[in-house]
Amino acid sequence: MTRCATFADLGIDHVSVITTGPWTTEGVATLVEAADQVAAFDAVRQRKSSQTVSAPVEERAMSKVICDLSISADGYSAGRNQTEERPFGDDGGDGWGNKLHAWIFETPEENRAEVDQRAVPSAFIMGRNMFGPLRGEWDRKWTGWWGDKPPFHAPVFVLTHYPRDSQPMDGGTTFHFVTDGIEFALRQAREAAGDGDVSILGGATTINQYLAAGLIDELRLHIVPLTLGGGTRLFDGVPPLNLEQVESRAASSVTHVTYRLPRDTRRTS
Amino acid sequence: MTRCATFADLGIDHVSVITTGPWTTEGVATLVEAADQVAAFDAVRQRKSSQTVSAPVEERAMSKVICDLSISADGYSAGRNQTEERPFGDDGGDGWGNKLHAWIFETPEENRAEVDQRAVPSAFIMGRNMFGPLRGEWDRKWTGWWGDKPPFHAPVFVLTHYPRDSQPMDGGTTFHFVTDGIEFALRQAREAAGDGDVSILGGATTINQYLAAGLIDELRLHIVPLTLGGGTRLFDGVPPLNLEQVESRAASSVTHVTYRLPRDTRRTS
């Protein structure tokens, strides 16, 4: 077996990895280490003198707008009549709101890749109804459903019609309140994310607005084996879309499907 | 390695296999042959003198009512405004009606198991709109969309409000017209199927009626990467269901998911 050149052999001491993959900082470090071992990147060989190389990916340098959503087999992500006690609304008394997310909490090992992926984005956007049950003016303290240390660890832009000061939380999450609509919120989130991805968290009503505006690049659906028969539904009011299935994987009680939305994704209709 | 007793060794010359699997006659023959080689069935050892043995399956002797349906990512199986020229209705001029079934025709090898499964049932049921574009009285000749030799090769019970004589076709398909409702059609289909499965072919409106009545045992969905935004939708008007995901498999441009519907499948709501 031939020993391959390492980056050091090639006189390279700094590598930028530009990838569309959902890499964490650790992931990138591992990738670079692997690349060093095998000198796998064409770019490395082609540009020996360069101090910066890029992975030879075709679609490059794009931070993505993704959406990661658990839905029922009939496409709902939440029921009707949300209250403070019931963030997912009517659940017929049998807790399907929790069942929709059981794959995350009850079988994390089996779904490790998908669970990890949810935390990768560098900024998040959510609708006000996902943030909380309050409507109208912010007339009492509410800092989300997630306690003092929300699981986002990044800026979260909350869509609302009512201005409010930013709300820093423990663990790196700050809630910013955006009153200028979905496109403005996305611009702010992109800016905050830098090279990172932006995740539209939900609910489905918010996601549908972004889908209809053609602003989502990737849809990661977790299809759970139950139906709800009512509530907020993914794709409602969204014009017909051509999707590209880029990944699909079954776990024991959920099917993960990732769709890419081509840039010009709307069909004639 | 010990040589195992064969059925012949045990004095058994006839074996009935009772299984919930989707076995064809050839499949059963193979199964019995395999069982003969290894004398695998407990029943064989326990009942040496019996002339008839059963496979020791827990849930047994059930012919199933299955439904096998290609749907868009937003749950539609057909569009609005069906006509004779367009069995799937409005398709926005870009032929998504065909795209919904492209996995069958364009990538049969990759989807062999699912394609084969579709032909296994011993009797079929379909709604009148799946059978054809005619409405009201049968005032002109129509024998389905499938030409002289439809791909069912078995009795097909067509739900209609207008009586009509049975219509035999080439290749073993006979269309029977049932005017007494979905339960009666299922009884007739079960009778025709004997030990075989009954398949509710569609459209979604018909399937939804059977789902709402709790009459479907297994739902085999083929989720295709596009959305339609309108048409006939699976699960519409069906009360909330608990499903059991029994299989899920991705092909390159479709995700196959099989749900079992527990007998008492409706949730409190």
Rounded CA separation A112/A212 (Å): 31
Specify the pLDDT at position B99: 82
Look at residue A124 and tell me whether its pLDDT is greater than 70: yes
pLDDT tens for each residue of chain B, 269 residues long:
233 345 555 555 545 444 444 444 445 454 455 444 433 343 333 333 333 333 333 333 468 999 999 999 999 998 777 777 777 776 656 666 678 888 988 888 889 989 888 878 999 999 998 999 888 999 889 999 899 999 999 999 999 999 999 999 999 999 999 999 999 999 999 999 999 999 999 999 999 999 999 999 999 999 999 999 988 999 999 999 999 999 999 898 899 999 999 876 555 44
Specify the pLDDT at position A52: 35
Query: Which residues from B are below 8 Å from A245, CB to CB?
Result: 225, 250, 252-255
Rounded CA separation A125/A178 (Å): 10
Instruction: Tell me if B240 and A234 make a contact (CB, 8 A cut-off).
Output: no
Residues 6+ apart with CB under 8 A from A67: A199, A200, A201, A202, A207, A210, A211, A216, A218, A219, A220
A53 vs A225, higher pLDDT: A225
Q: Do B220 and B68 form a contact (C-beta atoms < 8 A)?
A: yes
Rounded CA separation A129/A235 (Å): 17
**B172 dihedral zone (left: phi>0; alpha: psi -120 to 50; beta):** left
Specify the pLDDT at position B177: 97
Structure token pair of residue B121: 């049932």
For A77-95, the pLDDT digits (tens) are: 987 777 777 777 776 566 6
Q: Do B104 and B113 form a contact (C-beta atoms < 8 A)?
A: no
For A18-36, the pLDDT digits (tens) are: 443 444 444 445 445 544 4
Look at residue A241 and tell me whether its pLDDT is greater than 50: yes
Structure token pair of residue B181: 């409702």
Burial of A245 (0-12, 13-18, 19+ CB in 10 A): buried
Rounded CA separation B113/B106 (Å): 15
Q: Tell me what the pLDDT averaged over chain A comes to.
A: 79
Look at residue A258 and tell me whether its pLDDT is greater than 70: yes
Rounded CA separation B174/B155 (Å): 5
Backbone φ and ψ of B214, nearest 5°: 70, 30
For A109-119, the pLDDT digits (tens) are: 889 989 888 87
Rg of chain B, C-alpha, whole Å = 21
Mean pLDDT of the A204-222 span: 96
Would you list which residues of chain A are within 8 Å, Cβ to Cβ, of chain B?
A: 73-75, 90, 92-94, 96, 221, 223, 225-229, 234-235, 238-245, 247-250, 252-255, 257, 259, 267-269
Rounded CA separation A117/A265 (Å): 24
Specify the pLDDT at position B9: 54
Interface test with B, best of A67, A74, A88, A261 (most B CBs within 10 A): A74
Rounded CA separation A35/A86 (Å): 48
A177 vs B96, higher pLDDT: A177
Rounded CA separation B140/B134 (Å): 8
B106 vs A257, higher pLDDT: A257
Amino acid at A196: G
Strand boundaries in B81-147, DSSP class E: 123-127
Specify the pLDDT at position A186: 97
Rounded CA separation B160/B92 (Å): 29
Specify the pLDDT at position A95: 67
Query: Which residues from B are below 8 Å from A227, CB to CB?
Result: 235, 238, 240-241, 243
For A42-66, the pLDDT digits (tens) are: 333 333 333 333 333 333 346 899 9
Q: Do A222 and A103 form a contact (C-beta atoms < 8 A)?
A: yes
Instruction: Tell me if A227 and B241 make a contact (CB, 8 A cut-off).
Output: yes
Specify the pLDDT at position B88: 74
Q: pLDDT tier at A205 (50, 70, 90 boundaries)?
A: very high
Query: Which residues from B are below 8 Å from A226, CB to CB?
Result: 240-243, 267
Query: Which residues from A are below 8 Å from B94, CB to CB?
Result: 267-268
Instruction: Tell me if B245 and A250 make a contact (CB, 8 A cut-off).
Output: yes
Rounded CA separation B190/B186 (Å): 6
**In this structure, are strands A244-251 and A123-127 parallel, antiparallel, or unpaired?**
unpaired
Instruction: Tell me if B229 and A238 make a contact (CB, 8 A cut-off).
Output: yes
